[in-house]
Amino acid sequence: MTDFAIEATGLKVHFKTGAGLVRAVDGVDLSIPKGAFHGIVGESGCGKTTLARAIIGLQSSTEGSVRINGRDRTDWQRADRKGFARAVQFIFQDPLGSMSRRQTVGQTLEEPLLIHGIGTASERKARLAELLDLVALPSTVLDRIPRSLSGGQRQRVSIARALALNPQVLICDEPLSALDVSVRAQIVNLFARLQAQLGLTIVIVAHDLAIVREVCSEVTVMYLGRVAEQGVTKPLFADPAHPYTQALLSAVPSPDPRIEATRPRILLAGDPPSPRNPPPGCRFSTRCPVVEPQCRVTEPQLRAVKHQGQAACHLAAAETHAVI
């Protein structure tokens, strides 16, 4: 039970704005075992990026705690910032913006080693070659500036930089959304290969369900700052318990035109409610096609469902659940 890479309990991130309190993340519990490839999905504004940032401490949380490798994240960072950085790394959505425009790729990759005082100049050079090898980049990129690289190459560089310190946990904030669809597959495969090769725990924030289905061993579906459903990817995607997950999955197009023409689609009416003012009861109740009176009154808690995961829906139970 203790072998969790990441454990978040009651995590809340609220932003004070002129228009009121935005509850970007509003009470999330998350347990990610070591060696898992965990996907966090949800539509724009559901708080998945904020959650990822709060896990690594780029965003201070309003309430709740995060434990990484069994240690309290806040204490760890306060006591040993560099040690924490060696254990947990983060990959940003925009690879170009996350690199200094004054540095070459070589300097960018060497920086973490320099910060941590790792190796001599020649050892660092060898490590750089190793890293490039790992992300399948030619050594010619070392002297180029990030701006002159293609989108896929940039993301490879930022992955290589995150791996430079040999972290155990890698958190990626939409590492694919800035990329061309054709390049996405390559980077996804890279993540899968690295995970197997290095035994990393990877948390990936995404809104592309097809990719999550492809590579993630487990998945968390978020809606309006809370977890709607979580579980092992395959059974969850095969038989989602939460109406929101069902709707999300029905929006994923199929490559087969015959299936695509006939498959049922669930169209949700309206926009997600504002995180400034979440509805009472179930947060999905305003758009849920199978809503019942109790949904508008009491907020459902996560409970065990058929696919061995958990869902926050009054209509879902261990044996059966509502199907839209």
Partner 1 sequence: MKSWPWAILTPALIFVLIGIFAPLLMTHDPTKQDYSAILSPSSWSHWLGTDYLGRDMYSRIIGGARTSLVAMVVVLLAALIIGVVIGSFAGYIGGRTELVLISIIDIALALPSLIIALALIGVFSGEAWSWMSDYWKMIIALTLAWWANYARMSRAVVVAELQQPYIEAARVMGASHMWIFTRHILPHVLGLVVVYASADAGALVLAIATLSFLGLGVAPPTPEWGQMLVDGMSYIEDNPALVIIPGLALTAVVVSFNLLGEAFALQKVPKAVRGGLLRRKKSARAGEETARAATEAKA
Residues that bind partner 1 (CB under 8 A): 44-45, 49-50, 56, 58, 81-82, 84-86, 89-90, 92-94, 96-102, 111-112, 115-116, 158, 161, 165, 177
Cβ 46 to partner 1, closest distance in Å?
10
Length in residues, the chain: 324
3-state secondary structure of 155: helix
- 151-163 vs 105-115: helix axis angle to the nearest 10? 20
Cβ 144 to partner 1, closest distance in Å?
16
Closest CA to 41 of 169, 209, 184, 203: 209
Q: Which is nearer to partner 1, 177 or 277 (CB)?
A: 177
Please, which residues have CB within 8 angstroms of residue 198's CB and are 6 or more apart in sequence?
163, 166
Alpha-carbon distance of 312 to 26, in angstroms, equals: 14
* Count of beta carbons in the 10 Å neighbourhood of residue 279: 16
Q: Which is nearer to partner 1, 107 or 217 (CB)?
A: 107
Cβ 143 to partner 1, closest distance in Å?
18
Cβ 295 to partner 1, closest distance in Å?
27
Cβ 147 to partner 1, closest distance in Å?
9
Please, which residues have CB within 8 angstroms of residue 188's CB and are 6 or more apart in sequence?
176, 211, 214, 215
181, β-bridge pairs? none
Rounded to the nearest 5 percent, the helix, strand and coil shares of the chain are 35, 20, 40
Q: Which is nearer to partner 1, 272 or 309 (CB)?
A: 272
User: What are the φ/ψ torsions at residue 64 (nearest 5 degrees)?
Assistant: 90, 175
Q: Which is nearer to partner 1, 90 or 237 (CB)?
A: 90
Cβ 261 to partner 1, closest distance in Å?
31
Q: Which is nearer to partner 1, 101 or 258 (CB)?
A: 101
Q: Which is nearer to partner 1, 96 or 266 (CB)?
A: 96
